[in-house]
Amino acid sequence: MEKQTYPALNTREFVAKWHSVVEEHLVTELAGLLRPLAAESSGNTLGPEQCAALSRHFAYALQVAGSDSGGLQAAVEYLRQAAALKNEGPEIS
């Protein structure tokens, strides 16, 4: 069954939808990049599920790094906290 889409009601909703689409694209692209990067550094390969989970964290960290109140230090801190929590990390959607 195909998901039915509706046009944005206003500019704010359009921007929110646009950001969601861009995020999904970048997460997919990051997932494809993580496997070869991980294999290059450790000789191990990540599975598709692991790459997908990691790409969500990296996409969020990149958003934090690019925000006015964030920066690289805040992004690294987010990744540090996510790593400490392992599978109990913050849900990112």
Does residue 52 lie in a domain region? Answer: yes
> What integer pLDDT is reported at residue 34 of this predicted model?
75
User: How many domains does the structure of the chain reveal?
Assistant: 1
Averaged pLDDT in 10-residue chunks for the chain of 93 residues? 78 89 84 73 73 87 89 87 68 50
DSSP state of 87: G
Does residue 46 lie in a domain region? Answer: yes
> What integer pLDDT is reported at residue 12 of this predicted model?
92
Distance in angstroms (rounded) separating the CA atoms of residues 75 and 56: 13
Range of the domain at 81: 11-88
Using DSSP's 3-state secondary structure scheme, residue 69 falls into: coil
> What integer pLDDT is reported at residue 10 of this predicted model?
92
Put simply, whether the predicted model's pTM sits higher than 0.85 gets the answer: no
Tokens of 13: 């909703």
> What integer pLDDT is reported at residue 40 of this predicted model?
63
